[in-house]
Structure 1
Amino acid sequence: MKIVVIGGTGRIGSQVVALLRANGHEVVPAAPSTGVDTLTGEGLAEALKGADVVVDVSNSPSFDPEPALDFFTRSARNLFAAEKEAGVRHHVGLSIVGVDQVPDYGYYRAKVAQEDAVRGSGVPYSIVRATQFFEFIAPVMDMSTEGSEVRLTSTRLRPIASADVAAAVAGAAQGEPSNGIRNIAGPEVYGLDRLGEITLAAKPDGRTVVTDESAGLFAGMPDVLAGDDTVQVAATRYEDWLQRN
C-alpha cells in the first residue's frame, strides 16, 4: 500500500514511517520540511496521488486555544479535500484519551474539533487516542520548576511510550477502517507528582518535587486522563523506559 504520513518527520510520525516501511509499504513522510504544508495545502495533491491510506500525526506548533483550533481545523479542511480528490480509502488520526471530557482546556477543544472533522469528512477512518507520552514528563517538569522545586499536581496519568503509540498507529494504518475510536495507555497509573519523583530518583539533578494542585498545565484537570478499564494497555513500563533513555 501507499501510505502518506502527515507529520511524518516528528516524534511519532518518524517511528510510524519506519514501522510501515519495515513491513514493505510505500511510505511518504509529509511535513513542511518535505514540501507538504497542510495549512496552505501546498504539496498535498502531489503527495497523496495514488495513496491508499493517510495517517495524520501532525501537531499544532502552539498549545494556545486559538492558534491550535486554527491549525487543526484549517489543516483538516485542506487534507480531506485532497484525500477525496485522491480517492484515499482510510484516514488514521491520533488524538488524546479523555479529550472530549476537558471542555475548559482550549487545546483539547481544538483536538475535539479535529476529531469532529475526521468523523464528518466522508472518508473511512480510525482514531487512535493515546494517553500522555513518557517523553512529555521531563518537559512538564521543566515548565513547573521554580528554583530547586518541581511543583506538580497529583493529577492521575497513565503515560505511554511513544514507540507503543507509533506501533498502534501503524497497526491501524495497515488494518481496515474502524470508523470509531481505540484508546491506548501505558500499563500503570501514577500521580503526576509521583512521576516526577520517579524521574528524579532515576536521574537526580538536585531538584525535589513539591505537590501543588494549582501548578502547571494539569491544574484543575478532571480525573479523565488515565482512561478507564476499556483502554488497551501497552507493555512498556515508565521505570524501564527511564533506564534506557
Structure 2
Amino acid sequence: MRIAIAGATGLVGSSLARAAEAAGHQVVPLAKETGFDILRPDGLVEALEGADAVVDVMQSPTLDEAEATAFFTEASRNLGTAAAQAGVGRSVVLSIIGVDRIAATDEEAGTGFDGYYRAKYAQEQATAAHAPSPHVVRSTQFHDIARQAIGWGRDGDRTVVPDLVTQPVAVDAMVQVLLGVATGEIAGDLNEVGGPGRESLTAMSTAFARSTGDTVEVTAGPVGDLVRDGVLLPGEGAHLVGPSFAEWLAGVAAATAAR
C-alpha cells in the first residue's frame, strides 16, 4: 500500500513511517521538513494522488485550547479535502481516550490539559466532516508521560504530579494498531489502544526519577471527578499491547547506565 503520513517527522509519525516501511508499504511523508505545510496546502492533492490511506498524527504547536482547536480544525479540513480530491480510500486520525467525554462537559476533568483534549475532539470532528472513510484511533498516554509529568509542576527538588490512573502504552506498540487500521486489517470506525496494565502516574514519575538518578520528591496533586471515574482508561474491546511500564522503564534505566 501507499500510505501518506501527516506529521511524519514527529515522535509518532517517525515510528509509524518505520513500521509501515518495514511491513513493505510505501510512505509519503507530509511535514514541514519534507516541504509540506498542511495549513498552506499547496501541492497536497498531488502528493496524495495514488495513496491508499492517509494517517494524521500531527501535533499542535500549542496546548492552548483556542489555538490548538483552530490548528487542528484547519489542518484536518485541508488534509481531508485534499485526500477526497485525490481519491484516497481511507483516512485515520490519532486521538486520545476520553476526549469525547471531556468535550461534552464544562466540568474540569483534572488532566491538566483539558483544553487540549477538547481541541483533539474538534480534530476528530473535522476529520469526520471532510476526510474520506474516516477512522479514529484513541490512545492512552505514552510511557514517557512519567518523565514529562515531573516537569509540569517542578519547583527545585519537588514536583506535583496529577494523582491519576492511566494505562500507558509504548509508542511503537500503539503504532502497530494505527497501521492495522490504516491498512484495513483492523476493522471499526473507532478503536482504542492502551497498555497492558493500570498505573498511578505519581508512582510512575517517582520510579522514572529514581531510575535516572533524579532525587526529586514527587507529590500527588488533585484531579477531577472524571479522571477519578476513569475517563482516561480504555474501555471494553480496546487493543491492549505491551510492553508494560516496568519493562519500558527497565530499558530506560539500562540506557541511562550505559551512558
TM-score normalised to the size of structure 2? Answer: 0.87
Distance of 2:68 and 2:60 partners within structure 1: 5
Structure 1: gaps of 5 or more residues: 214-218
- 1:193 matched residue in structure 2: 202
Q: Deviations over 1:195-215 (max 9, x none)?
A: 1122123223121211221xx
Alignment of 1:1-245 (within 5 A): 1-103=1-103, 104=108, 105-121=114-130, 123-175=132-184, 178=187, 180-213=189-222, 219-220=223-224, 222-223=226-227, 224-245=231-252
- Mapped to 2, the partners of 1:136 and 1:154 lie a distance apart of 13
Tell me, in whole angstroms, the C-alpha distance in 2 between the residues paired with 1:42 and 1:188: 44
Q: CA deviation at 1:235?
A: 1.6
CA deviation after TM superposition for structure 1 residue 26, in Å: 1.3
Alpha-carbon distance, 1:221 to partner? 6.4
| Shift, 1:125, TM fit | 2.2
1:228 shift after superposition: 2.8
Is contact 1:8-1:14 (8 Å) kept? yes
Which piece of structure 1 moves more, 20-29 or 64-73?
Answer: 20-29
State the shift of 1:178 in Å.
4.2
Give the Cα–Cα distance (whole angstroms) in 1 for the partners of residues 176 and 75 of structure 2: 24
Alpha-carbon offset, residue 231 of structure 1? 2.1
SS at match of 1:84: helix
4+ runs deviating over 6 angstroms: none
Specify the SS of the correspondent of 2:151: helix
Q: Deviation of residue 57 (structure 1)? A: 0.5
Query: Deviations 1:55-99 (Å, cap 9, x if unpaired)?
Result: 111110101011100111000111111111100000011000111
The one-letter amino acid of 1:117's match is: A
Structure 1 residues 47 and 177: alpha-carbon distance in aligned structure 2, compared to 1, 3 A threshold: farther
State the AA in 1 paired with 2:235.
D
Give the C-alpha shift of residue 177 in structure 1: 8.0
* Contact 2:81–2:131 (CA under 8 A) maintained in structure 1: no
TM-score (norm 1): 0.92
**Would the aligned equivalents of 2:77 and 2:127 in 1 still touch at CA under 8 Å?**
no
**1:89-131 per-position Cα deviation (integer Å, ceiling 9, x unaligned):** 0001100011111134221111111111222236112211100
3-state SS, counterpart of residue 177 of structure 2: helix
Q: Secondary structure at the match of 2:226?
A: coil
Separation of aligned partners in 1, 2:179 and 2:193: 13
Shift of 1:176: 5.8
Q: In 2, are the aligned partners of 1:187 and 1:237 still within 8 Å (CA)?
A: yes
Give me the whole-angstrom Cα distance separating, in 2, the residues matched to 1:59 and 1:127. Answer: 15
Structure 2 residue matching 1:39: 3-state secondary structure: coil
Instruction: Check whether the contact 2:46–2:86 (CA below 8 A) recurs between aligned residues.
Output: no
CA-atom RMSD in angstroms: 1.7
Structure 2: which amino acid aligns with 1:73? T
Structure 1 residues 221 and 6 mapped into 2: Cα distance closer, same or farther (>3 Å)? farther
Kept in 2: contact 1:126–1:178 (CA 8 A): no
Q: Is the 8 A contact 1:155 1:221 kept in 2?
A: no
What is the distance in 2 between the residues matched to 1:206 and 1:88?
A: 51
Contact 2:100–2:121 at 8 Å: present in 1 too? yes
Partner Cα separation in structure 2 for residue 26 and residue 226 of structure 1: 33
